[in-house]
């Protein structure tokens, strides 16, 4: 029997990945850990978690990946883990200016704790972890390719994600671990993170409060709907793996890019409200443009959800969850 461990199981991507596995792998045990920290609304995390706890093959522990004692307990309780999906992280770019140690603790120490667990678990077949499009940093050749050098991170968050890829490669080399890095591009959708622009804009529109628009909204992103991301993750897990041990990096993102201003205009249409905009200059840590390049990688990744359809689904969820509509 396979045992899947998902870290950050109450987080946005971790929750959706756990839910998909619970539906598709009813004969497997799905373990979830999350320390339910207060970086954003804990009640939202608990609501996500309550959805997962409806499944009899889901087991949850409120463990912190940066705590060695918690990880030792997890290892002793479940020595037969076969797959690790590591999504727990300190997210956000601007938060790093004021809380740098949060990133060092979770994204560096926590990551090493996870690779150490995988090193010692005898049955682990695959360590799959969240990297980020932010590792491309100051690169100006578009679209971003997994073959591009990544030497100029523009934020501490990006630097920790790049470090994760290097640490995973070192463990792959030294201990023959099979590792896959997933460079996610601006993932959005129902149950999304409250610190992301789409959530912040939608909240401000419905509450008739002002919202902050950096650089007049002239920043471009590969907005990628959560369902497409989860389908890509499952394809990696379910497809035949390369000969072990392997180390691979994939971009998971839409080839189509839109400006932040365009996203806000669509949200105004969907909510039938006009934004009250507070203009701010571009933030020092913001990347001006990201665009996912899907060539030169052994993964067929498709984005089936248009931006309009994805935003419609997000607004519908927001109205149901927060406004009771």
**Would you please indicate which residues are annotated as catalytic (active-site) residues?**
157
b/e map 9-20, b = 16+ CB within 10 Å: bbbbbbbbbbbb
Joined tokens for residue 325: 């509509």
Strand partners, 224: 187
**C-beta separation of 71 from 61 below 8 A:** no
Q: How many residues does the chain have?
A: 325
Complete edge-to-edge strand list for the sheet that includes strand 126-132? 58-61, 29-33, 3-7, 83-86, 126-132, 179-184, 247-252
Classified as helix, coil or strand, 90 is coil
Angle of helix 226-238 versus helix 12-24 axis, rounded to 10: 50
Backbone angles phi, psi at 235, to 5 degrees: -65, -40
How many beta carbons lie within 10 A of that of residue 116, not counting itself? 15
**Cα(16)–Cα(36) distance, integer angstroms:** 16
Backbone angles phi, psi at 110, to 5 degrees: -60, -40
Q: Which long-range contacts (CB under 8 A, 24 or more apart) does 102-107 make?
A: 102/39, 103/156, 103/157, 103/160, 104/160, 105/66, 106/65, 106/66, 107/157, 107/160, 107/161, 107/163, 107/164
**Cα(9)–Cα(297) distance, integer angstroms:** 27
Look at residues 223, 221, 196 and name the one whose alpha carbon lies nearest to residue 211: 196
């Amino acid at each position: 029997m396979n045992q899947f461990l998902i870290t950050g199981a109450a987080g946005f991507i971790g929750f959706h990945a756990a839910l998909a596995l619970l539906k598709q792998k009813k004969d497997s045990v799905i373990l979830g850990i999350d320390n339910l920290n207060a970086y954003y609304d804990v009640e939202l995390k608990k609501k996500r978690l309550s959805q997962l706890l409806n499944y009899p093959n889901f087991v949850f522990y409120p463990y912190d990946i940066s705590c060695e004692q918690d990880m030792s307990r997890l290892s002793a309780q479940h020595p037969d883990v076969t797959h690790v999906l590591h999504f727990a992280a300190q997210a956000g770019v601007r938060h790093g200016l004021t809380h740098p140690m949060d990133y060092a603790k979770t994204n560096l120490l926590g990551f090493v704790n996870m690779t150490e667990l995988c090193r010692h678990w005898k049955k682990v077949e695959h360590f799959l972890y969240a990297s980020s499009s932010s590792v491309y940093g100051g690169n100006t050749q578009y679209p971003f390719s997994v073959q591009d050098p990544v030497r100029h991170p523009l934020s501490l968050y990006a630097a920790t994600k790049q470090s994760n890829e290097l640490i995973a490669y070192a463990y792959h080399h030294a201990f023959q671990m099979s590792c896959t890095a997933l460079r996610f591009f601006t993932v959005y959708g129902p149950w999304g993170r409250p610190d992301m622009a789409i959530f912040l804009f939608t909240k401000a529109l419905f509450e008739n409060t002002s919202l902050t628009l950096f650089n007049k909204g002239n920043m471009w992103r590969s907005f990628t709907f959560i369902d497409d991301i989860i389908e890509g993750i499952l394809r990696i897990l379910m497809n035949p793996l390369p000969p072990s041990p392997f180390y691979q990096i994939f971009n998971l993102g839409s080839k189509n890019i839109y400006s932040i201003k365009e996203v806000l205009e669509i949200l105004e249409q969907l909510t039938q409200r006009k934004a009250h905009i507070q203009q701010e200059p571009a933030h020092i840590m913001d990347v001006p443009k990201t665009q996912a390049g899907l060539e030169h990688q052994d993964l067929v990744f498709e984005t089936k959800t248009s931006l309009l359809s994805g935003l419609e689904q997000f607004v519908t969820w927001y109205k149901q969850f927060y406004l009771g509509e």
